[in-house]
Amino acid sequence: MFSGVRLARYAGSGSSGERLAFLRDTLAGLSASPKAFLPKYFYDGAGSALFEAICVTPEYYPTRTEAALLADIAPTLAASIPDGAVLLELGSGASEKTRMLLDAAPWISAYVPVDISADALDGAVRRLREAYPSLAVHPVVADFTQAIDVPKALAGRPVVAFFPGSTIGNFTHDEAAALLRFVRERLGPSAHFIVGADQVKDVNVLLAAYDDAGGVTAAFNRNVLVRIDRELGADFVPEAFEHRAIWNAERERIEMHLVSREAQEVTLAGQRFAFAAGESIHTENSHKFTPELFARLAEAGGWRIEREWISPAPAFGVFMLRA
Ligand code: AVJ
């Protein structure tokens, strides 16, 4: 089995294909109008660590709310996890919530964490192997929208996919339905899929969660500029951009932006990009759901909802889907 360290060398952001895709997407985003980046590029090592820091701010309720809900329902979830199942997690990051399932269903035979950040996977895998010595852990460094593969060594075992954290909120409704369908097609007709989806709620609660007083979310947002400078050789001055979180009521989503404090120019790969004062780069969407909306997307993706749980306020949903 590959160690996390070797995987990092194979397929981490250090590989030239990854760097090229990052450059291509960043150039396209800066050429677009309005300017926009893809949220998956937040997650270099520093960005993954900043996200973990966001999760423990007082304002960012999703992580602790979902964790409390999962702790409550873990026995029920476990009851539907087949003996010897492979647990496949999309965007596993630090794999903290995973432990709740592993503890409740010790008959899970293998764990396949899929994450775009080799650094985040490395640490998570090291800690999990120590805590669960009899669990087979097969980390995969990948963009889960492009590739979801159960390692060949585990073929034939029942698969339970796990997609917590409302990461699905990063996608538009059409993209989310397509992703749900992609997972359904990759995992086959016997698959189970446990998805966490944050719910529409009081706008002030939402805005605070994406603009914490300690400035951790602002640092997370600006870190993508730091990363573009370091990995792609651009000359962004991160502090010349202001972090902004807004609620888009029509689309029911929080948007994060980086707003240019003044007119300025930035150079990337020999191309110059002009910013007007107040012009923004749209860096992330975080869609919020109702049970009805989530059900519609799940059905569009070929799933049916076997059970759903919504926490007391601040409302967060966990959905158990069957193919
Ligand atoms: C990891 C995508 C679920 O959208 O809430 C946290 C990322 N962005 N604060 C989210 C995030 C700003 C987070 N997801």
Which residue blocks in 105-246 are alpha helix, DSSP H?
Answer: 118-131, 173-187, 203-209, 216-232
Pick the atom of ligand 1 nearest to 165's CA.
3
Q: How confident is the model at residue 34 (pLDDT cuts 50, 70, 90)?
A: very high
Question: How remote is the CA of residue 82 from the centroid of ligand 1, in Å?
Answer: 31
Question: How remote is the CA of residue 38 from the centroid of ligand 1, in Å?
Answer: 12
**45, two tokens:** 């090592």
Contact in structure between 186 and 148 (CB atoms under 8 Å): yes
* Mode of pairing for the β-strands spanning 316-322 and 304-310: antiparallel
Determine whether the shortest distance from the Cβ of 286 to ligand 1 is under 6 A. yes
Pick the atom of ligand 1 nearest to 62's CA.
5
Residue 9 has pLDDT above 60, yes or no: no
Determine whether the shortest distance from the Cβ of 217 to ligand 1 is under 6 A. yes
Q: How confident is the model at residue 240 (pLDDT cuts 50, 70, 90)?
A: very high
Mean pLDDT of the chain: 94
The string of pLDDT tens digits covering residues 47-71 is: 999 999 999 999 999 999 999 999 9
Determine whether the shortest distance from the Cβ of 165 to ligand 1 is under 6 A. yes
As for the ipTM of the complex, it is 0.99
Pick the atom of ligand 1 nearest to 39's CA.
2
Cβ-in-10-Å burial (0-12, 13-18, 19+) of 53 comes to middle
Residue 11 has pLDDT above 60, yes or no: no
Question: How remote is the CA of residue 62 from the centroid of ligand 1, in Å?
Answer: 9
Question: How remote is the CA of residue 286 from the centroid of ligand 1, in Å?
Answer: 7
**In b/e form, how buried is each residue of 73-97, taking b as 16+ CB within 10 angstroms?**
bbeebbeebbeebbbbbbbbbbbbb
Cβ-in-10-Å burial (0-12, 13-18, 19+) of 293 comes to middle
The string of pLDDT tens digits covering residues 13-28 is: 467 888 999 999 999 9
Q: Which amino acid is at 253?
A: R
The string of pLDDT tens digits covering residues 206-232 is: 999 999 999 999 999 999 999 999 999
Which residue is closest in CA terms to ligand 1's atom 3?
A: 167
3-state secondary structure of 229: helix
Beta-carbon contacts of 118 under 8 Å, excluding residues fewer than 6 positions away, are 4, 7, 8, 11, 12, 13, 14, 141
Task: Give the residue, out of 255, 286, 316, with the most ligand 1 atoms within 8 A of its beta carbon, to mutate for a pocket test.
Answer: 286
Q: What angle do CA 257, 198, 47 make, to 5 degrees?
A: 45
Cα–Cα distance measured from residue 265 to residue 268, given in angstroms and rounded to the nearest whole number: 10
Cα–Cα distance measured from residue 25 to residue 163, given in angstroms and rounded to the nearest whole number: 25
Which residue is closest in CA terms to ligand 1's atom 14?
A: 167
Task: Give the residue, out of 43, 284, 289, with the most ligand 1 atoms within 8 A of its beta carbon, to mutate for a pocket test.
Answer: 284
Q: Write the DSSP symbol of residue 311.
A: P
CB atoms within 10 A of CB 6: 10
List the one residue out of 319, 320, 318, 316 whose CA is nearest residue 64. Answer: 316
Residue 176 has pLDDT above 60, yes or no: yes
Contact in structure between 130 and 96 (CB atoms under 8 Å): no
Q: Supply the pLDDT for residue 188.
A: 87
Contact in structure between 142 and 117 (CB atoms under 8 Å): no
Residue 1 has pLDDT above 70, yes or no: no
What average pLDDT does this structure show over 96-110? 97
Going from the C-alpha of 149 to that of each of 176, 225, 317, the distances in angstroms are 19, 31, 26
Task: Give the residue, out of 59, 63, 167, with the most ligand 1 atoms within 8 A of its beta carbon, to mutate for a pocket test.
Answer: 167
Beta-carbon contacts of 32 under 8 Å, excluding residues fewer than 6 positions away, are none
Q: Supply the pLDDT for residue 16.
A: 81
